[in-house]
Amino acid sequence: MIDPGRWILHLREQLPIAREGSDPEGVHQLRVAARRLRVWLELAGMSVLEDDLAWLVRVAGRVRDLEVLLSGEQPRAFARWLRKELEAARAAFVPALDSPRMAGLLWALPSLPPIPIPQAQARLPRFERRLRRRAATWAQEDTLEALHSLRRALRRLRYAREWLGHDADDLRRLQDALGRAGDLDFTLAYLRHFEQQGGKVAASYKKRLEVSLREAIEQARQGWRGWDKGL
């Protein structure tokens, strides 16, 4: 049997850390727990609480993005703007943690029953087929949106395998390779927003990000081809 209890507990443990805000791992681990539980629901063939867990991942997303950006070295003016954006994001995020919807989710999660391993195993091919579809779309469209979609499918397959006790180190490494492009893409997106509001950074900084993004996309392609050939 596969019991979701461990990750339900993990989610609960991260709530006060995420609410307090001094340790970025709180928000990160809150999202990890919610995403892993969403995969558990798919393995169980359940849709109950799926929307609520997706909502939790979404409302924490902007805070997480900004915390990741501020963990690196940024131009001074951009960093000041990012800190203000983080304050605003947290002002919207913290009330969500204290909302009736969150309370209902926490009340309902412990009622999820363990699922038999054969039942979960039978659903694993769904995750693999989704990954193949996303890869085909990326190959056809060659867009960052398609790449991000592929990475999400990759993460879900990785979590599904881990729920079943399978080795997923290869998927984790590939996920990391694809993730660098994602990080650079959202850095540039925030930078564009900053510039639209009148902010200024050195042209060389932006150029360096753009070059790094192109390199990361190529590395993602190579990583995918290497993993795909190894199957």
* Domain locations in the chain as residue ranges: 1-115, 123-231
Which tokens go with 173? 């490494």
pLDDT score of 231: 59
Round to whole Å and give the CA distance between 43 and 163: 9
pLDDT score of 229: 73
Q: Token pair 């919207």 is at which residue?
A: 92
pLDDT score of 230: 63
Instruction: Evaluate if residue 109 carries a pLDDT over 70.
Output: yes
- Residue 113 backbone zone (phi > 0: left; psi -120 to 50: alpha; other: beta): beta
Taking the model in full, what pTM does it have?
A: 0.94
Read off the pLDDT of residues 139-173 as tens digits, 9 standing for 90 and up: 999 999 999 999 999 999 999 999 999 999 999 99
Longest Cα–Cα distance of the chain, Å, equals 57
CB distance 24 to 71 below 8 Å: yes
Exposure string over 83-119, b if 16+ CB within 10 A, otherwise e? eebbeebbeebbeebeeeebeebeeebeebeebeeee
Give 30's pLDDT tier (boundaries 50, 70, 90).
very high
Instruction: Evaluate if residue 91 carries a pLDDT over 70.
Output: yes
pLDDT score of 228: 77
The average pLDDT across 82-88 equals 96
- Average pLDDT of the chain to the nearest whole number: 94
The average pLDDT across 8-17 equals 96
User: What's the angle, vertex CA 188, arms to CA 184 and CA 193, rounded to 5?
Assistant: 150
pLDDT score of 226: 87
The average pLDDT across 83-91 equals 96
Round to whole Å and give the CA distance between 130 and 26: 30
For residue 227, give the amino acid letter.
W
Q: Could you tell me where the DSSP H helices lie in the chain?
A: 5-20, 25-44, 50-70, 76-97, 100-108, 117-141, 144-163, 169-196, 203-229
Instruction: Evaluate if residue 95 carries a pLDDT over 70.
Output: yes
Instruction: Evaluate if residue 183 carries a pLDDT over 80.
Output: yes
Instruction: Evaluate if residue 116 carries a pLDDT over 70.
Output: yes
